Amino acid sequence: MKIIYKNTKYLMLGLLGIFLAASCETDFDNPNEATSEQTYSSREGILSASVGLQQIYSTTGLRWIVETPAITTREGGITTTFQNMIELEDGGASLPNFNSNVQGLWSTMLRVVKIAEDIQTNAPNITLDPGTESGLVAHAKLFQAMAIGSLSQNFEQVVTVTNPDNNAEFVSRQQGFEFAINQLNEAEAILTATPPSDEFTNQVTQGNIDLLNSIRAMKARYNLFAGNYEAAISAANSVDQSSVSLFVYDSQNLNPIWSRVYLNDSPNFKPRDNFGLPESFDLDPEDGRIDFYLIPLDVNNQNGLPIEDLAGFFDVNTEAIPLYIPDEMDLIISEANLRKSPADIDAAISALNAVLTDSSDPLGLSADLDAYSGPETVEAVLKEIYKNRRAELFLTGMSLEDSRRFNRPAPSGQSMIFTEERNRNFYPYPDIERNSNPNTPQDPAI
């Protein structure tokens, strides 16, 4: 990320404390305790920790968030012989606990949670401008919520609070979403009472992230996933869709998806034709999102899956990646209006049409199509929403959550069935967690 930090000493100490934290589950003992104390006991140190929090999520974290479910749900097809990718595409009940993608997703999200916890604990103990403290705490709560939300999208049970004794408690994924929502509610209240200072903005987000808007967007997302439909609609309506929030990269911190698809001309995966949707979803060839994300290639991967080249936010090594897509808010409003009781089909179609007919998206991602003209039934409109979520929110890490929520065909449990829409329901718990935490649940069957 393009971060220019004036006090290099504290930035390096902060990042060293973050990246040298011990093993990848809930064991976060720091081998250099003095560094940890210095990081969280000074203004410079805690600002650098906040920069580091954003950096680890936007580089290492986004790789696992995007790539792992993309292979499971056929958004992408592998183009490598690396075992971790082969295991993911094969899927089934035999996906091992030591798969490095599963481990990476779990451990990196918990690393983010731990840093966010430390920032929230220590910021009130340091002499800071009130707006700097509010920015630091709200920013930490946002990233903590996104990390726990990502875990809840991919695992049946999750850790929401880290434990230095490797004894963290697990809660249901529903409780994980509710925990994330509570953190976001608190973050919104903090920023509403005390807006972030110029110091925080200049040294942490650098104007690339609209913090309040991002918090509201994530409230909409996780309330939808948690089944809180009126709250999801309310939060989505509160988002200013003309504003964007971006993770910005540079030559030292490359776009993590570009690195997996283009680096050294040695791709690990490529996007699937038609966003990996089955033929029963008839995509309009005039849909602007096809050309936005996909470059025609007309080849198959080693398992016979048709693949394309990747464009969108991922075809330049320093291209920015949005925290969320603005039109996601209308898709949330549309879906929530159908799932609430009683359903409001007119409101759902109106919100869906805002996505279909969009021709001036602030990110340049526009379907630019005619309004919906299909059957005005809950089932038909939900199917159209699913198709549009797949096209609009391509490679955003939500495909596995969406596939389950829309009751797409469940996997058989057998591996190497490449015609299945998804090859897992949830991931097994990494053995790095199971081997150290006695509270680790049994793995899901599939």
Structure confidence by residue, pLDDT tens digits, 221-243: 999 999 999 999 999 999 999 99
Copy the structure tokens of residue 336: 């929530």
pLDDT at 273: 96
Is 396 among the domain residues? yes
Total of domains in the chain: 1
The residue segments making up the domain with residue 186 are 8-410
Is 172 among the domain residues? yes
Give residue for tokens 């809950």.
378
Among the listed residues 283, 295, 278, 305, the one whose alpha carbon sits nearest the alpha carbon of residue 409:
278
Helix, strand, coil content of the chain in percent (nearest 5) = 50, 5, 40
Strand partners, 191: none
As a whole number of angstroms, the distance between CA 164 and CA 19 comes to 16
Structure confidence by residue, pLDDT tens digits, 342-375: 999 999 999 999 999 999 999 999 999 999 999 9
As a whole number of angstroms, the distance between CA 159 and CA 434 comes to 13
Is 437 among the domain residues? no
pLDDT at 16: 47
pLDDT at 180: 99
Quote the DSSP letter at residue 301: -
In this predicted structure, the answer to whether residue 443 has a pLDDT above a threshold of 50 is yes
In this predicted structure, the answer to whether residue 20 has a pLDDT above a threshold of 90 is no
Does the model's pTM come out above 0.75?
yes
Is 44 among the domain residues? yes
Q: What is the mean pLDDT of residues 386-399?
A: 98
As a whole number of angstroms, the distance between CA 180 and CA 338 comes to 24
pLDDT at 286: 97
8 A C-beta contact, residue 135 and residue 200: yes
Q: What is the mean pLDDT of residues 313-338?
A: 98
Is 121 among the domain residues? yes
Is 440 among the domain residues? no
8 A C-beta contact, residue 86 and residue 149: no
pLDDT at 38: 72
Structure confidence by residue, pLDDT tens digits, 134-150: 999 999 999 999 999 99
As a whole number of angstroms, the distance between CA 33 and CA 15 comes to 14
Q: What is the mean pLDDT of residues 258-286?
A: 96
Is 150 among the domain residues? yes
As a whole number of angstroms, the distance between CA 127 and CA 317 comes to 39
Q: What is the mean pLDDT of residues 100-110?
A: 98
C-alpha distances in Å from residue 286, one per residue of 281, 364, 387:
15, 15, 15
8 A C-beta contact, residue 349 and residue 386: no
Is 424 among the domain residues? no
Among the listed residues 267, 260, 233, 64, the one whose alpha carbon sits nearest the alpha carbon of residue 146:
64
In this predicted structure, the answer to whether residue 27 has a pLDDT above a threshold of 80 is no
In this predicted structure, the answer to whether residue 35 has a pLDDT above a threshold of 60 is no
- Average pLDDT of every residue of the chain: 93
pLDDT at 36: 65
What CATH number does residue 368 fall under? Answer: 1.25.40.390
In this predicted structure, the answer to whether residue 319 has a pLDDT above a threshold of 90 is yes
The SS3 of residue 158 is strand
pLDDT band at residue 94, thresholds of 50, 70 and 90?
A: very high
> According to DSSP H, which parts of 98-210 are helical?
100-122, 130-154, 173-193, 198-200
In the chain, % of residues over pLDDT 90: 91
Strand partners, 76: 271
